[in-house]
A and B are shown apart, each in its own frame.
Chain A
């Protein structure tokens, strides 16, 4: 059957015509089977050229179009749009690249003309096998899931809520604020962290567009941009937040006392507790892991608490499973019920922002620092709690024996900038080390403060001045060492000795009552789990990988999933907030209420009659776009998730998968004709 093919040859000024015999191409093409007419143009991508193409196609009414011109990378889209103007399906068109692949690289005109002929022959044959593809649009959901309620997540949630978007803010802890909730003051202006944070936290709690889901984690994510469905596991906390007024009457009678993880085990808490005074939302949590009522078996619970270091052997004697109702009896508002179960909440959303923060590198890996063995060696985060008014010492700088230290050593770059551990600079440690020096100086006047550093990393406004102001202090001593730090912390009879070799090679033996380490910032524990769930990639250091280092810092490889804050890489609060705002901006323009989402048309399709159900394709798909229909025992391609890479098509043993616009027949025809 004859299919009318129209061939248009572009001379591209002289780019093509100078090196290829256009007349010969016209004659050759007109003799090809199915070709109805051949026309040439001086510059088909110019306004005149496009107008000609549109009106000529409308007039000639070909069934297929072949354009012999430049690379499809440059003008395939241009010509598809032009053909659309002529009411011509843009997928019934094939482009032949005779500029980059022929005219510019084949010096001999006769050889170039022959090569161009082969390409045209292949395209004409291929195009007759093309099928009209129709663009599809789908409705999308513009609600947003934000994972993590630290500075980045809160900023994103608030901005989105202000723009009228419904936001589900999921936080694994019972409180919002992230790590910053643990800080007393922040560098370089020594602002009060809670004064800075609380108004934001308050807005989060009261914004009608934000549903805050605390003590929860995302356990399943299905779908794609505009149409995600997620499952969120909410731990039963046994306290009704509608009834609870946060009076705190329930903690006192609770017989269970365990170490408080919020204070990094430096203080104790009850099984029913708020992690710190001032935590928002101000609703206590009943920790079923330690409450006597919920013990699965006595020994399992006790062993777990022992393993975690939450109780001592001696204390473990008090933990027997029993029908305790102490907190319920103390509550005057009937807010406590014990029959609560963990819940699975389901939400439908269009975009996801991941802002799950960071952890610290475990310094006990480096035995020279004595962390975990020597009681007076702390990490930066532990020290933040010691300095905090809501912390274990009520904001007084005390050692474990309740005395004020007379000397303190702060050690930078623990695990950072170390080829054996974390090669990168964590970026914020120099500045928080300076903050510690400033606060230690204030809290323990006259104490000697040793700052053991390798290099200064203090870029940004006000930070250099902050460093300079500390250099003027009499009691603060800066010791410049080489990397990796040659520092050893030893426990003597009643004090610690810190020995370090400075850059001149001199060994400095120092006596210190307390040692504070600045460990590398590393990805949060949940990073790899979320990375698998959301299919977003992580970089070499384990942080989520951004779409482009410079130009797409909050995008990921998955459309509709964005990252913000320290889960993308170490950064300060201001950087995290900026990324939270950036991610909110991305979401606002990715999905607009009332606007439909256009789908790819060049995708894979499975023929249910010939699929053998072998599932080869399912494991191969990098987008998890192929599902297995258990009832029919066949593969089903999700037309929205499929990006059309064709990997499954190439692997399908029964040939039931078709790569639209790159079908086996089309490619075979092309190969045969080009080699004829």
Chain B
């Protein structure tokens, strides 16, 4: 008996990816707006005040999902880079290129909101502990990948070079995640892990989960928008793009 298999390679051409991305974008965009609105409402208005930090802890509802996304998007970007290198597939490189700015945005957001949380709770905007420093390095890594890609004119070489750089940098992600466990840091440990019960009230946890989902949907929507413009830019001489312009 022969199994019916999904042919994943049917989207491995820019021409096929373009309309697929176009179809998915509104869905991701609307649901991200719903989730982020609901998450902010729950986090800022519904969730209870914290027993020791008062209301300043509410930065967590942006800070933690942003930090998660910064690491997650890096892994996804490196994954696309690996697929691109292995299969020599151009859309994979385009996806990697499209993810980088959003990843950098969330890294910046995590650092920025972290500073505003650190000042009232720790008493310092910034400290050079392992968690904060490794997250700052992640921001430079995103910048490095984008800059390297932009600085090489030959697109095939730019794709490959930045893919290798993205792959090399992936070692930093476990370092960021486990830094609070491996070394003494000022940054507190993880409230949520796969091995232990969450160390926060249920409403807070729900609000944070919804925010994370919203950020994920937002990342998907924006990445697909960006990959569409990358496709148009790179394939501008292809006949189907010319047709698209006419219609």
A-B complex is real: no
